[in-house]
Structure 1
Amino acid sequence: MLAAAALLSIAPHAAALDRLVTCPTELQPQAIRITAAAGWVPRIEAPLKLYAAGMSAGPPGSSQTRPGKEIHKDKELVSTSYGFAPDARPNHVWLDCTYGEGGEISISRRLDERTRECTITMFKPVPGEPRKIEMKCS
Structure 2
Amino acid sequence: MDMQGYSRANSPPLSVSMATLRILADHFPERLHLCFFIDAPGIFSFLFNALWPFIDHVTRQKIVFVHSKDYAKQIETVAMAGADEALREEKFRAVARPEDPDAFCNYLRWYCKPYNEESYRALLDNVGWR
Is TM > 0.5 for Structure 1 vs Structure 2? Answer: no
Output the TM-score relative to the length of structure 1.
0.27
Q: Name the structure where helix makes up a greater proportion of residues.
A: 2
Q: Name the structure where strand makes up a greater proportion of residues.
A: 1
Output the TM-score relative to the length of structure 2.
0.28
Instruction: Specify the structure having the higher radius of gyration (Cα).
Output: 2
